[in-house]
Amino acid sequence: MKTKLFYLLLITISILFISGLEYTKNQKIVQINKQIETLKTPMHFLFNIQYMFNKAMLTKDKKLQLQYINTAEFFTDMIKNSQVIKNFLEKEKIKIKQNKVNPTQDTKNLYEIIKHTAESQYLNILNSLDNLQKYKHVINQTFIFIDISIIVLSVLIIILLENKRHKNHLEEASFKDYLTDTYNRRKFYEIAASLPSDKTHSLIMLDIDHFKQINDNYGHDKGDFVLKEVADIIRHNIRKNDYIFRWGGEEFIILLKNTDLEGGMKVVEKLKNDIESHDFQGLKITSSFGICETNKITNDTLQKLDEALYESKRKGRNRITVA
């Protein structure tokens, strides 16, 4: 459940991050489009200036030349509805005379001034537009790459975490007894080897009394039920940092870390009473115990513990013997 919630949170964060990037990208595109629109008006104006003057000054048609000789009328028509054009003329310090001028001199000079300015500005604007379009393309490509990268990264994280979780699950399963959900002998030896020798620990061996008769008389399903119930009772009587191991058949070993014999006896006595008083679906179950105190678990330790357990059985079962 926690893993699914984490994956859901990861996907949600990725979606929100991508949405944020998309918003940022769109804002940048809007700004660029505004800049493009700002440049289009003077660009068209400058293009028209070139076109009109070229058409007027280079044509052999004298009437067409005379049509544009009145510079006041010519520019008044062009600028009356465009503040951008007015600003352009003011910026370039182009002054419009309010009377007809000599077509061979003044108009030609004005034409040369505007033609030179228009060509220069027109090329600059075209270059700016080209750069803005390229920048817009780069932004689009960059954000697409980032979006794809986030998605791929999120998927890779999920895959890696799933692989790790699966690996951990398989590793954990190799150390577990499937029926009782307790550790097995393999895990016992691993933990025993890692225990610090400067600490005292209590080791308990438990054997369910007359377990074979339970299987013979009530079937293996009933026997499995008893094993699981006993494991649960043990689990409720120990701390989180203690360990339960299914040693084999109806036997369990309990490791009480950093616990001396006195502390271990309190646990085993309560455990014995809880098993004896527990309702196993109409069955009365008891267990025999062996217990020892040790700072290092060896084969000799296990041998003495096993002997203590069988001493409890020999003396009548449902009892505790100290090794």
Question: Which positions are catalytic?
Answer: 250
Cβ burial of 70 (10 Å; 0-12, 13-18, 19+) is: middle
DSSP 8-state assignment for residue 235: H
Note the residue count of the chain.
Answer: 323
Q: Which amino acid is at 131?
A: N
Instruction: Round to whole Å and give the CA distance between 160 and 155.
Output: 9
Half-sphere exposure (CA, 13 Å, Cβ side) for 55? 10
Burial of 256 (0-12, 13-18, 19+ CB in 10 A): buried
Closest CA to 182 of 246, 126, 102, 133: 246
From the list 94, 99, 6, 88, the residue with the least C-alpha distance to 41 is 88
